[in-house]
Amino acid sequence: MDLDSLFSCFASTSCVITQTTSGFIIGMLLFLVAVGLTLIFGILKVVNFSHGVFYMIGAYLALTVYQTTGSFPLALLAGGFGAALVGLAIERAFMSRIYGANPLMQILVCYALILIFDDLARLIWGGDFRSMGMPDVFQVPPVFIFGGVAPPYYIFVIAVAAAIAIVLALVIARTRFGKIVRAAAHNPAMVSALGINTVAIYALVFAAGCLLAGLAGALAAPVRTVSPGMGFSILIESFIVTVIGGMGSIAGALVGALLIGMLRTFGALGFPLFNEGLMYIFMVMVLVIRPSGLFGKEAA
C-alpha cells in the first residue's frame, strides 16, 4: 500500500490530469469490449465468455497489417472487420447451437473456444509478447493541459470510442434495425412470427459485438503488449464493467467502464500490488447495494 503517493497526486492538478487521461483510455477500450458483451447478452441471452478472443484477434491482425503495410487506418479496419468475420463464423458454427442451452453448456463451449484460439494465436504469431509501436502520425509531442500529460494517441482513441458510443446509441434508439433488435430481445418468437429473420439478426448482433471488440484490440495494440492470453484479462474486466453498469445497458457499460478506468489508474498509485483486487472489491460493493447494477432494470 502506498497511500502517500495517491494523496500527493490528488494535491497536484497535473498528476490528476495525467491519471485521468490514462483512466479514460483504459475505460474507453474497456467500453468497446464491454458494450459488445452487454449487447450480445441483452439480445441473444448468452454470456459470451469467449468475448476476449475477438479483442485478441483484433490486436494481432492490426499488428500484422500495420507491420506489412505500414498503414494504421488499414490496421484498424483489419482488426475490426477481421474479428467480425471470425465472430460470424463462430456464431454460425458453435454459438447458434447453444442459445437457450443450460449455462453449463454455454460456459463449456466458450471455455473450449478460449483454449483453441489462444493456442492458434501461439501457433500463428508465437507465444512471446509482441508490440506494435506507436504509429508515425501520433509520434508528436504530447498535449499539456494544466501541466498534465495527454498523449495525442490517447485523445484519438477516446474520440473514436466516444463517436462509436454515440452512433451505437442512435442506431438502437432511432433506426428500424434498432427497433427490431430491441423487439427481438424482448420477444424473439413474436419477431420471427412477423416474418423477420431472427437468425440473421442474432448473427449480425454477435458479429457487431465482435467488431467492437476487435476494434478495441486494434486500438490497444500501439499502447499494450500483444500476447495470446491478452483476451482473458480484458474479458474479466469487461464482466466487472457489465456487472457494475447493469447487464444489457449501453449507458451502464460506458459509466462502468470509465469508473473502472479511473479506479485502475488511481488505484495503481495507492495500491500498486492489489490494483486488480480493488476492482473486484468495488464490484462486490455494487452487487451488495444494487444487485442489478447501476443501470440495470430487473433484479438479478
Binding footprint of another protein on the chain (CB under 8 A): 41, 47, 49, 94, 97-98, 102-109, 111-116, 118-120, 122-123, 232, 236, 239-240, 243, 247, 273-274, 276-277, 280-281, 283-284, 287-288, 291, 300
Three-state secondary structure call for residue 17: helix
Nearer to another protein among residue 46 and residue 63 (C-beta): 46
Angle (CA) 236-223-142 rounded to 5° is 130
Nearer to another protein among residue 10 and residue 232 (C-beta): 232
The number of residues making up the chain comes to 300
Nearer to another protein among residue 192 and residue 275 (C-beta): 275
Least separation in angstroms between residue 109's CB and another protein is 5
Least separation in angstroms between residue 192's CB and another protein is 23
Least separation in angstroms between residue 134's CB and another protein is 29
Burial 57-89 (b: 16+ CB within 10 A, else e): bbbbbbbbbbeeeeebeebbbbbbbbbbbbbbe
Q: Is 228 exposed, middle or buried (0-12, 13-18, 19+ CB in 10 A)?
A: buried
Nearer to another protein among residue 75 and residue 203 (C-beta): 203
Nearer to another protein among residue 189 and residue 273 (C-beta): 273
Nearer to another protein among residue 161 and residue 263 (C-beta): 263
Least separation in angstroms between residue 112's CB and another protein is 4
Least separation in angstroms between residue 276's CB and another protein is 4
Nearer to another protein among residue 146 and residue 280 (C-beta): 280
Please check whether residue 65 is in contact with residue 74, taking contact to mean a CB–CB distance below 8 angstroms: yes
Please check whether residue 241 is in contact with residue 257, taking contact to mean a CB–CB distance below 8 angstroms: yes
Least separation in angstroms between residue 133's CB and another protein is 27
Contacts of 243 (CB under 8 A, 6+ apart): 256, 283, 286, 287, 293
What are the CB-based long-range contacts (under 8 Å, 24+) for 122-130?
Answer: 122/228, 124/60, 125/60, 125/63, 125/64, 125/226, 125/228, 127/227, 127/228, 128/227, 129/225, 129/226, 129/227, 130/63, 130/225, 130/226, 130/227
Please check whether residue 260 is in contact with residue 241, taking contact to mean a CB–CB distance below 8 angstroms: yes
Least separation in angstroms between residue 273's CB and another protein is 4
